[in-house]
Amino acid sequence: MEVDEHLYTLMASHAARVTVEQVCMGLRYTAVTTSDGGIGLAYTYHQPKRPAARPSTYVDYEGRPAMALLEKIKSDGPLERSQALALVNALNYGQALRLPEDPDNRILYKTFGLQAGCKVAMVGYFGPLVTYLRKQKAALEIIDLSRGLGDKTQFYKKLKAWADVLLLTATSLLNSTTEEIVGHAHHTVKIIMLGPSTPMVAEAFRHLPIRMFAGTVPINKAQVLKAIRHGMGTRVIHRFSKKAYWLTDKSESRAGISSGE
């Protein structure tokens, strides 16, 4: 994907100056910490209905220059990509810390009109958002192949001619489907990328019409790492993190920090 090349290029100079401190792969999420105090998260990606594909060789990235792991953002191996995306988020940690918060999703709901009458396509099952949207009586179409939800052909038809908003999981970066999915969306569809894996690096997505990034920035690093080691998911990780957002210049209304600000 083109976005992989952008992430690599944008993070390379920082990666050349630091080392990987720790790589922690839990059942649900992966965390990477760096020698400059950065920490980043990514989903531990398992291909649907297949056991986790182990790397063909053992590589210990801890204590090594971060560039060695950053290169794996272009790997075909899902677990290597999980580690590399977590590293990207660790390298971007300082920037992400400065982004504003949306702890209860009010900015998301208000900016994109997620209410009755809104037609929402969702890639990846986000339980709290599903509950909210159904309560609001918004129309909702979900695809999450790991849960056996949805049909790709029908979902893409909805993106072309039905959806107002696309809620896109950042896990799509790990299975290399981000650009394919976005490419099926009508130009009027408002696209939001969300989830703890989300790289808060809008410049890497400049070729895609994504209007908002909603990610997770660890605050209590020790507790986040413990939660990951214990196999916990988003709900527990969010206790020790902030939900950050970035409205891009592709949005009709802007808030927070954007490129050049």
Domain boundaries, the chain: 2-97, 106-218+240-247
| Model pLDDT, residue 162 | 98
Which residue do the tokens 């794996």 mark?
Answer: 72
| Model pLDDT, residue 260 | 31
CATH of domain 106-218+240-247: 3.40.50.11590
Measured CA to CA, the distance from residue 189 to residue 138 in angstroms comes to 15
For the chain, which ranges sit under pLDDT 70?
47-56, 251-261
The answer to whether 259 and 202 are in contact (CB under 8 A) is: yes
Going from the C-alpha of 250 to that of each of 87, 94, 162, 246, 261, the distances in angstroms are 27, 24, 20, 11, 15
| Model pLDDT, residue 190 | 98
pLDDT digits (tens, 9 = 90+) for 153-209: 999 999 999 999 999 999 999 999 999 999 999 999 999 999 999 999 999 999 999
| Model pLDDT, residue 253 | 40
| Model pLDDT, residue 257 | 34
pTM of the entire predicted model? 0.92
Measured CA to CA, the distance from residue 199 to residue 49 in angstroms comes to 26
Q: Indicate the CATH number of 2-97 among 3.30.390.100, 3.40.50.880, 3.30.70.20, 3.40.50.360.
A: 3.30.390.100
